[in-house]
Chain A
């Protein structure tokens, strides 16, 4: 047993505090928006919007209104729009409390790799490097192992980095870990996962 995608998103949503401005990445992080409940959370889309609403209903799409994944979205009563320089000003300036994003690799020093695999097609880092360098807290949500069953929580990242010593917390299908001095610290295990199983699936040093 372990958490599925929605349970990982639900666990990540529990990290968010009332009043926070938050940036959600593509994939499982996008699902976090479904689980914020009664908390007053304002979502930022780094192409230039605070107060991102849900996808539009069919027929109400607006080509002038998209998210950072280029999907059509809607606005809310609180929405504010701004240009890209202002948008990354608030990211770099630490005004965004938290970013939740996916990753290919995270290591025990909090280094993050999620934009490039050498020898494969490189599409670009988009806003990921700015986000991990700038926001208050970086939470990675990803599967604990890759498709070959190898740990994605490493002693040292092997892929080109998105940011150095930037990750605060990692939420995987097997549990929750924090980046601390000397390695990763287990915060909790997923439902039905033992600490032994979590340790066995993790290459990084667990302290």
Chain B
């Protein structure tokens, strides 16, 4: 099966529809699928719901889709870096569902693994637990504790950034740019991946593959800006 596409627009052809639910990888601006986000902007797809840890900045990442009012709802853990996001949220134009970061990651992983819900102690006793099923379990320390149920995420589409892919979609990520990309990839009905380099089958040591190609349906290679959000350095000692 041919998984390699010439560019982001071609890789998304036939997959986009108004009102769809997209899971996106990335943490801050690190490891975000910047080329695919650009192609979604160009396609003009509207009323999108995104499960993504963050919402980018005003002119990069998911922020570019906020400028064009293509996003209806965000499911995120932290959105503090984006002024346009805050403006739309405070004016009621944009829905926001806060998920604790680990709960969001596990919701994606669980959805991709066929697990419709799971129990977690994260958020018990906070607003996050409001309206959710509570249940007591005996924990690993032998003591009974209260947990809440969280649901797995099933996305119509996953958009993901990896470092390298082979021709069958086996993926290798680089450093902390891995972050939400594997769980996001797993929870999509269709997963489109952008990489810095596509290599021939057999190039990777099979023991070194981070995410097997079974989760990957379409691949593109391209040049990435890879913007740094907070450049922090120390004095040379």
Residues on A lying within 8 angstroms of B by beta carbon are 45-49, 54-58, 60-67, 69-73, 75, 81-85, 87-89, 91-92, 94, 111, 121-130, 133-134, 160-165
Among B106, B121, B124, B226, point to the contact of A64 (Cβ < 8 A): B226
State the CA gap A127–B235 with chains docked (Å).
30
A70 to chain B, nearest CB (A): 4
Q: A66-B176, A88-B106 are in contact. List 18 more A-B contacts (CB 8 A).
A: A49-B175, A56-B233, A61-B233, A66-B27, A66-B28, A66-B30, A70-B81, A73-B232, A81-B176, A92-B121, A124-B76, A126-B101, A129-B126, A129-B128, A130-B102, A130-B122, A133-B121, A163-B124
Name the residue on B nearest A130 (C-beta).
B102
**CB <8 Å contact, A63 and B178:** no
Residues on B with C-beta less than 8 A from A72 are: 228, 230-233
Residues on B with C-beta less than 8 A from A161 are: 125-127
Question: Is B7's beta carbon under 8 Å from chain A?
Answer: no
State the CA gap A133–B175 with chains docked (Å).
26
State the CA gap A128–B123 with chains docked (Å).
10
State the CA gap A66–B86 with chains docked (Å).
24
Question: Is B135's beta carbon under 8 Å from chain A?
Answer: no
Name the residue on B nearest A57 (C-beta).
B236
Per-residue A-contact encoding for B145-168, CB less than 8 Å = 1, 0 else: 000000000000000000100000
Majority SS at the chain B contact face: loop
Offer 19 A-B interface pairs, CB within 8 angstroms, sorted by A. A48-B27, A48-B176, A62-B175, A64-B30, A64-B174, A66-B229, A70-B27, A70-B230, A72-B232, A83-B173, A85-B108, A91-B102, A92-B121, A121-B80, A121-B86, A124-B79, A127-B101, A133-B124, A134-B121
A164 to chain B, nearest CB (A): 3
Interface locus among B11-19, B180-188, B200-208: B180-188
Majority SS at the chain A contact face: loop
Question: Is B177's beta carbon under 8 Å from chain A?
Answer: yes
Among A73, A83, A122, A125, point to the contact of B181 (Cβ < 8 A): A83
Residues on A with C-beta less than 8 A from B137 are: none
Residues on B with C-beta less than 8 A from A129 are: 100, 102-103, 122-123, 126, 128
State the CA gap A122–B123 with chains docked (Å).
17
**CB <8 Å contact, A82 and B230:** no
Residues on A with C-beta less than 8 A from B232 are: 55-56, 61, 71-73
**CB <8 Å contact, A127 and B100:** yes
Given A48-B178, A124-B78, A163-B125, A84:B100 Cβ within 8 A: no
Name the residue on B nearest A74 (C-beta).
B234
Question: Is B140's beta carbon under 8 Å from chain A?
Answer: yes
State the CA gap A88–B86 with chains docked (Å).
27
State the CA gap A165–B103 with chains docked (Å).
19
**CB <8 Å contact, A82 and B105:** no
| Interface set, chain B 85-105, CB cutoff 8 A to A | 86, 98, 100-103, 105
**CB <8 Å contact, B140 and A163:** no
Name the residue on B nearest A116 (C-beta).
B127
State the CA gap A69–B78 with chains docked (Å).
11
State the CA gap A207–B57 with chains docked (Å).
47
